[in-house]
Structure 1
Amino acid sequence: MHTKLKPILLLSFILVCHTAFAQSKKLVKSFKLGAVGYGLYESQKLSKSVTDTTFYLVYRVGKVKMVAKEIKAVYHKNFGDTLVSSTYKIDKNSIVFYQDTWNAFYHRIYT
């Protein structure tokens, strides 16, 4: 009886873990830099403070490893304003994140 129950429990565990991952991270784009594949995900962090933050996460495909974590946007809950916003550009051998905050402009390059 236990041998029939193990595969069902294992499958249930895998399904629950996959569903939990899918809810917290959403695939935005798959791309290659040279011969290595990457996935760009969006992840939102809800907080109890007055701001919520959304991140870009870059993962290497195959031997999975998080390569970068960049802020996509910071929202003010009370006013609905976007305090920080960023975009990205994928080139042949790099991905560049551009971030615009109040009076400053930043960019970060990953090769």
Structure 2
Amino acid sequence: MSRRDLSGAVDFTVLDRMTGGDDAVAEEVLDLFTQQASMWSALLDHRIEGWRDAVHTIRGAAAGIGAGELASICQETETTPQALAPAALERVHTALDIALADVAAWRHELMLRSLKG
């Protein structure tokens, strides 16, 4: 399937390999990622004690769907000194938003394909 690629933030071949090319499973994985992203975003605040745990969780999920740049930014941010956390967490937010836009485009294309039969 030719997938829309808004930014290249997500390498959907990684997702395809993980799901065995099963679009229904991929849709479930991306739905879960999208739902949880809103929860994780709330924890990406340097004033919240668990922000490093949230970044670590996003890192693993991002790697699993093929969002390599997001995973890389999260890895860097996990070890960021507290004084530099606000800027680092802003980078995580931005990368997460970009990855979510690519996920939305992929899901949209998948929905259109299912409507065509």
- When normalised by structure 2's length, the TM-score is 0.25
Give the structure with the higher percent helix.
Answer: 2
The structure with the largest strand share of the pair is 1
TM-score (norm 1): 0.26
Whose relative contact order is higher, 1 or 2, with alpha carbons under 8 Å and at least 6 apart? 2
Larger Rg: 1
